[in-house]
Structures are given as structure tokens and as C-alpha cells.
């Protein structure tokens, strides 16, 4: 039989664990709300003022500087949005930096964020001919049904002037094209 002191200690530990879990859930809710509010503000045309270290993060994602970006992610939100509404994942995808996209995704980066024009990382991968990156994004359940401001999915391209690359049509015809 447990003593009253042991039972009280066990109850206290369980209560502390429950409190910590509630704190984590509240933090997650606050972060989700803040992320949603920023996305809505950017979509509505609000100006984004990036801090110098945030600008560095976009530069590192754009130019494939993995080690630099990894350090910056300690102080920069993984779903940070720039003035065009692009996330770090979108910028890395525009430049075919698959390893950076993977790192960002593994750290909680959203593959389906749409920029001000409605483009996703997948729109850019398929429009710019980044076959391996596009296939990886589809494999990781990037949403292939999202349409941009031109009412085009990633399989169709960015615009009539910038259609998806020919491999995309073959990929879809082979039945490998996601959702």
C-alpha cells in the first residue's frame, strides 16, 4: 500500500505534467493564431517590415546557404512571410533548394502557404521544371488542388505565359500527381 505522502506526490506530479501539457497546447494555439493573422494581413495587402535577421533568412533560403539558415531558424519563425507573401519554403522552392525545403518542412514549415498571387512552393517547382522537388512535395502531401490568382493549379503553371513544364503533364498522366 502506498503511503498518503506517496499518493500526494504522485498526484502532484500528474497535476504538474497536466499543467505543462496545457501550457504547450496554449503556446501552440497562440502560434497558430499569430500565423493565421499574419497570413490574413499579408493577403489583405498589409506591408511587411522584415528585421535584418529575417531578411538574412530569406537570403540564405534563396541562395542555398543551409548552415546560415539553420542558425537563423533559432530566432526566425519557420513560416515567416516576406513582402510578396512568400515563405522561406516558397523562396527555397523558387530556387530548387530541395534540402532547405526538407529542413524547413521538418521544422514545421507549411508546404501549402500561398503567396499574394496564390502561388505555392509546388506551383514554382512545376513551373520552373524542378522535377525532383515537385515530386517530393507531392509525396509529402502538398495540396495539388490549390489555385492561384489565375485560377491555375500547380499542374497548370503560374499563368498562361508561364505554364507548368512538360514533365508535369506526363507525371499527371502516369497517375502520380497527388490529391
Rounded to whole angstroms, the Cα distance separating 81 from 149 reads: 18
Chunked in runs of 10, what are the mean pLDDT values of the chain (179 residues)? 84 94 86 72 70 95 98 95 94 98 97 96 95 95 96 93 81 62
Query: Residue 69 half-sphere exposure, CB side, CA atoms within 13 Å?
Result: 24
Query: In percent, how much of the chain has pLDDT > 90?
Result: 67
pLDDT of residue 109: 96
pLDDT in tens, 81-103: 998 899 999 999 999 999 999 99
Rounded to whole angstroms, the Cα distance separating 120 from 44 reads: 17
What does the chain come to in residues? 179
DSSP assignment letter at 116: T
- Can you read off the three cell numbers belonging to residue 87? 515563405
Among left, alpha and beta (phi > 0; psi -120 to 50; other), residue 84 is alpha
Neighbours of 33 (CB within 10 A): 10
In DSSP terms, which residues pair with 163 in a beta bridge?
157
Amino acid at each position: 500500500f502506498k503511503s498518503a505522502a506517496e499518493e500526494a506526490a504522485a498526484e502532484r506530479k500528474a497535476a504538474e505534467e497536466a499543467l505543462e501539457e496545457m501550457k504547450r497546447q496554449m503556446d501552440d494555439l497562440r502560434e497558430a493564431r499569430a500565423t493565421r493573422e499574419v497570413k490574413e494581413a499579408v493577403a489583405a495587402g498589409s506591408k511587411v517590415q522584415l528585421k535584418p535577421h529575417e531578411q538574412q533568412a530569406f537570403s540564405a533560403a534563396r541562395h542555398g546557404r543551409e548552415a546560415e539558415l539553420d542558425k537563423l531558424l533559432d530566432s526566425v519563425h519557420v513560416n515567416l512571410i516576406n513582402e510578396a507573401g512568400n515563405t522561406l519554403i516558397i523562396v527555397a522552392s523558387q530556387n530548387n533548394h530541395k534540402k532547405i525545403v526538407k529542413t524547413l518542412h521538418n521544422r514545421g514549415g507549411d508546404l501549402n502557404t500561398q503567396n499574394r498571387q496564390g502561388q505555392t512552393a509546388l506551383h514554382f517547382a512545376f513551373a520552373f521544371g524542378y522535377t525532383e522537388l515537385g515530386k517530393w512535395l507531392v509525396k509529402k502531401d502538398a495540396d495539388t488542388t490549390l489555385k492561384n490568382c489565375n485560377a491555375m493549379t500547380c499542374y497548370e503553371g503560374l499563368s498562361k505565359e508561364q505554364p507548368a513544364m512538360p514533365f508535369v503533364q506526363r507525371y499527371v498522366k502516369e497517375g502520380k500527381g497527388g490529391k
